[in-house]
Amino acid sequence: MRGKRAPVRPIKPDEVHNSVLVSKFINYVMYDGQKQTARTIVYKAIEDLANKTKTKGTEALEKAIENARPKIEVRSRRIGGANFQVPVPVSEKRQTALALKWILEAARASRKNTEFWVVLSKELQNAYNKEGSAIKKKEEVLRMAEANKAFAQFA
């Protein structure tokens, strides 16, 4: 590795919910630097999620993301000329990043001719109820890790 590692910048909590997680989610939704548009989308989706789950918006978002977080994943390791899929535990930061990424990928994939906040709210609700594409992705990663448990000694 050349040079120095870039310092991790602290993320400020958002103005409405005063939550770092919501702020991070806004940054993930943001496209081409249009932060205000991303804020509007996320706030509408959280409000809709809160109405449908009958809980506070940030609590519902946290639970949805918690349900989509993977505990272990597989990483490719080259050992003795062969590539092995080695299961490794996932750090807290990466768990959150993967969960946010999977929820957004699922929402973007299922978008037809509806507004994005509606699709995003639906995907968050699916993650909250432990169903939907993001949860399937998590279970798929878990299955891969289980199948390759024999190579865990290479971690």
Q: Confirm whether 10 is domain-assigned.
A: no
* CATH number for 94: 1.10.455.10
Q: What is the pLDDT of residues 91-109, one digit of tens each?
A: 999 999 999 999 999 999 9
Inter-residue contact 45 to 32 (CB < 8 Å): no
Q: Confirm whether 5 is domain-assigned.
A: no
Phi first, then psi: give them for residue 13, nearest 5 degrees: -65, 150
Q: Confirm whether 95 is domain-assigned.
A: yes
Q: Confirm whether 9 is domain-assigned.
A: no
Report the domain count for the chain: 1
Q: Confirm whether 98 is domain-assigned.
A: yes
Q: What is the pLDDT of residues 53-94, one digit of tens each?
A: 899 989 999 999 999 999 988 888 888 888 888 888 899 999
Among 48, 61, 55, residue whose Cα is nearest residue 20: 61
Q: Confirm whether 8 is domain-assigned.
A: no
The pTM score is 0.88
Inter-residue contact 95 to 138 (CB < 8 Å): no
Q: What is the pLDDT of residues 5-54, one digit of tens each?
A: 999 899 999 899 999 999 999 999 998 999 999 999 999 999 999 999 89
Q: Confirm whether 60 is domain-assigned.
A: yes
Q: Confirm whether 2 is domain-assigned.
A: no
Which residues form the domain of 116? 20-154
Q: Give the contacts of 77 (CB within 8 A, at least 6 positions apart).
A: 83, 84, 86, 151, 154, 155
